[in-house]
Amino acid sequence: MMWRSFPQLSLALLALRACAVNLKPTRAVKGNIDVSASPFITVQNGEFFVNGSRFAFVGTNAYWLHTLNTDGDIDKTLADIASTGVKIVRAWAFNDVDTIPEAGTWFQHISNNGTITINNGTNGLQKLDTMVQLAQKHGLYLLLSLTNNWSLARNTTVLRNILSNDYGGMDSYVRQLSSNLEHDQFYKNVTIIGTFKNYISHVVSRYKNNPSILGWEIANDARCNSTLPASSQCNSTTITSWHSNIAQHILMEDPNHLVSSGNQGFFCFGCPKLFQKGTSPSPSQIPPISVTPLPPRHILNEKQDMSLGRYEVKKSDTSFVRRQQNANLGASFDGTFGVDSEDILSIPEIGFGSFQLFPDQENYGPVNLTLSPLNRTFQVGVDWIQRHIATGLDTGKPVTLLGFGLVTLDNIPAYVPFGSDNASTESIQQPFGVTDSQRDQSCRLWLGAAIFGGLRGIIQYQWGQANLTAQAGTAIPPSSNSSGTTSNQDETGLSPNDGYSILGTSHEEAIGILKTAAEQMSLTISSSSQPPLAPQPSPTPSPQAQQPSSGMRQLQGFSIFACILSMLVGTLWISLFLVV
């Protein structure tokens, strides 16, 4: 079932309008240009801007876009995505190989003698050229990742590039270039850093004048451990410093586009910080926000009551995270992965924050054991989203959910955990494998929590496309015919699937949810589309602190109030999505 519009929605939107006034003083991100007219997406006051207007988006993932065999297929895929109202496509802009393949796309050959070959042919970077050009044609923006934490040793019968973790990535560099097979060589070996920077230079400078790129994502899911183990020295200092180094390099080559991390959003409350939270006041100066619980039950009608009774959606507030800092919340909060997403977000060159939500693969905090397993999964997702909304408010930069999903029963055969090349039915959240309708329910809930909570970008994982041109040896292989033999080429190919594709019996429903979410997101923006509050004096915004004026503080006070109001109203709507 689709989201519906309710009259009360306008109240929520009215309140959200006030949220557009940032809670924090301006933090101009390095690399920004004048927000008032730029066709490039920029960031100011915790918001995205483009063409002089606020921008927020619902997006989808298509890591495999550059593997499609014809330009027509890329065109059709982007046209179909654009027709949903989705604005952003997140895709891989890397494809590293240790041996040049006979068929299919590849971008970079890393030879174990240190020779690097970048393929700018028609099965190389020209695929990216096509993606960028066609994205522009369809009014879409691309968020392009430059490498991946995950990379398989190719020791599998699964065709190359089917799985999202099978496009090369960090461990491909380490395996080929270092005698020391530790994942964190990628973050600290000068030769390897130089090789990665060389690749980045080729790619980002190629598109630096093209506005149809939202930004560069340094790496998908960077962390200490990977398919190769980490050394015992790897910690958040290693990974945060590396982000800073790479972000500076990207902006040197391409000052026009935003840079983001791509990490999973892990916290490390106890980690020493390398970066100050920029121009933000220190935590003690942040006005305390205390939110009273949801309205008592009698205010809600019976239908709403049903959904809220056992399924309480918590309100977001900036003290939420801080209050729990000392609690033992598990690996996603204590630096186990070597990732401190808050410190990374404080790097001046990082334009916007990122996090991911894959409860089948990762623990995101304590669960309420009195809830049913499915409701636990739902709740964990809402909590995780709200924590990151709070982080965004805390740093004055927009935060984006890069990918979220649950594996459906139909998708189990295609599912492979990110760190593996073999299917597994083990999942952190049980039961593993949800029905399509449960998947859709989670999707509505999390999209609602993000949009009404004030997240500025949310990207579903992942798009699926049918009727593609298949070619033997590529990631879109010809399907078997009834006699069990395969022809060399046909036109019934399916896009690669690592367990999260929306193709299938519930395809139309999943697309309908994206459509509605995209509409809702643009409503929240159009209701707050007054010009930027305080246009930046050009040319170069100072990275130094700008203390807010007292008028600004008052506005902030009001907006905090209005923002909370909108969140309260928003949570009511979120609860409705559960019962329809």
Ligand X SMILES: *[C@@H]1O[C@H](CO)[C@@H](O)[C@H](O)[C@H]1NC(C)=O
Binding residues (CB under 6 A) for ligand X: these are 39, 50-51, 55, 111, 113, 115, 120, 139, 153, 155-157, 177-180, 185, 189, 191, 224-225, 229-230, 233, 235-237, 271-272, 306-307, 310-311, 336, 368, 370-372, 375, 422, 466-467, 578
The residue among 285 and 302 lying less far from ligand X, judged by its C-beta, is: 302
The residue among 467 and 554 lying less far from ligand X, judged by its C-beta, is: 467
Residue 489: both structure tokens together: 């080429």
The residue among 130 and 318 lying less far from ligand X, judged by its C-beta, is: 130
The residue among 235 and 474 lying less far from ligand X, judged by its C-beta, is: 235
The residue among 40 and 92 lying less far from ligand X, judged by its C-beta, is: 40
Q: Shortest approach of ligand X to residue 469 CB, angstroms?
A: 12
Residues with Cβ within 8 Å of residue 520, at least 6 apart in sequence: 3, 447, 448, 451
Residues with Cβ within 8 Å of residue 167, at least 6 apart in sequence: 63, 92, 94, 95, 96, 148, 151, 161
Q: Shortest approach of ligand X to residue 310 CB, angstroms?
A: 4
Rg (the chain; Cα; Å): 23
- The DSSP letter of residue 60 is E
- Separation CA 172–CA 148 (nearest Å): 10
Residue 331: both structure tokens together: 């690996």
The residue type of 428 is I
CB burial class (10 A; 0-12, 13-18, 19+) of residue 138? middle
Q: Shortest approach of ligand X to residue 195 CB, angstroms?
A: 8
The residue among 368 and 481 lying less far from ligand X, judged by its C-beta, is: 368
Q: Shortest approach of ligand X to residue 557 CB, angstroms?
A: 30
Q: Shortest approach of ligand X to residue 225 CB, angstroms?
A: 4
- The DSSP letter of residue 42 is E
Percentages (nearest 5) of helix, strand, coil residues in the chain: 35, 15, 50
State the DSSP H helix or E strand holding residue 93, giving kind and residue range, or none if neither: none
The residue among 185 and 220 lying less far from ligand X, judged by its C-beta, is: 185
SS3 89: strand
Q: Shortest approach of ligand X to residue 490 CB, angstroms?
A: 12
The residue among 14 and 116 lying less far from ligand X, judged by its C-beta, is: 116
- Separation CA 233–CA 247 (nearest Å): 22
Instruction: Output the furthest CA–CA distance in the chain (Å, rounded).
Output: 77
Asked if 316 and 453 count as a contact pair (C-beta separation under 8 A), the reply is yes
